[in-house]
């Protein structure tokens, strides 16, 4: 049975059945797009900490404001992605290991958290999406609630799993 936190149209984490205790099937969705098409096996000791760190970062509102006011989210993605300085690193988001290494993701705060992303692998499961920029907008507190709920379930199943 899969357990979903959040909404696929904005942001969701879906957690699959119990498997070997350090791995779990975790599917991530943003803007109606399945992000974990290439690798949806999360190594829990790393993944749980990364998700909790992102939730804490957003809870503190420690996310940069829009870097290019007046531009569309798609333009902002392209400008950040083309930047080869440390500036763009301020906007890197969801650096959660292999589960999301098929997408380039940036985020910034407006009234909502704005997540902009594009798939970059040529062998991406949905070739029609390659090179397109997608935008998810979600209230920061809703994003935090989604992450914290998923992390709590993953941690409880991980710590209570048989070795």
Q: Tell me the C-alpha distance between 51 and 32, whole Å.
A: 20
User: If residue 13 lies in a helix (H) or strand (E), which one and from where to where?
Assistant: strand 11-18
Is 12 in contact with 6 (CB distance < 8 Å)? yes
Q: If we measure between CA atoms, which residue out of 81, 101, 100 comes closest to residue 91?
A: 81
**Residue 47, helix vs strand vs coil:** helix
pLDDT in single tens digits along all 163 residues of the chain: 789 999 999 999 999 876 657 889 999 999 999 999 888 999 999 999 999 999 999 999 999 999 999 999 999 999 999 999 999 999 999 999 988 988 999 999 999 999 999 998 766 567 677 779 999 999 999 999 999 999 999 988 666 654 4
Helix axis angle for 140-159 and 44-59, nearest 10°, is 150
Q: Tell me the C-alpha distance between 95 and 109, whole Å.
A: 17
CA torsion sign for 86, 90, 96, 100 is negative
């Amino acid at each position: 049975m899969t357990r979903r936190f959040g909404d696929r149209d904005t942001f969701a984490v879906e957690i699959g059945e119990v498997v070997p205790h350090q791995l779990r099937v975790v599917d991530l969705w943003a803007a109606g797009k399945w992000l974990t098409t290439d690798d949806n096996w999360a190594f829990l000791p790393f993944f749980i900490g990364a998700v909790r760190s992102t939730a804490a970062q957003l809870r503190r509102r420690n996310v940069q404001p829009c870097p290019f006011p007046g531009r569309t989210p798609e333009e902002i993605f392209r400008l950040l992605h083309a930047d080869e300085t440390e500036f763009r690193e301020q906007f890197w988001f969801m650096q959660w290991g292999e589960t999301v290494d098929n997408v380039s993701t940036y985020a910034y705060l407006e009234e909502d958290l704005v997540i902009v992303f594009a798939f970059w692998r040529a062998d991406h499961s949905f070739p029609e999406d390659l090179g397109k920029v997608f935008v998810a907008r979600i209230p920061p507190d809703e994003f935090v609630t989604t992450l914290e709920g998923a992390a709590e379930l993953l941690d409880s199943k991980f710590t209570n799993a048989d070795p």
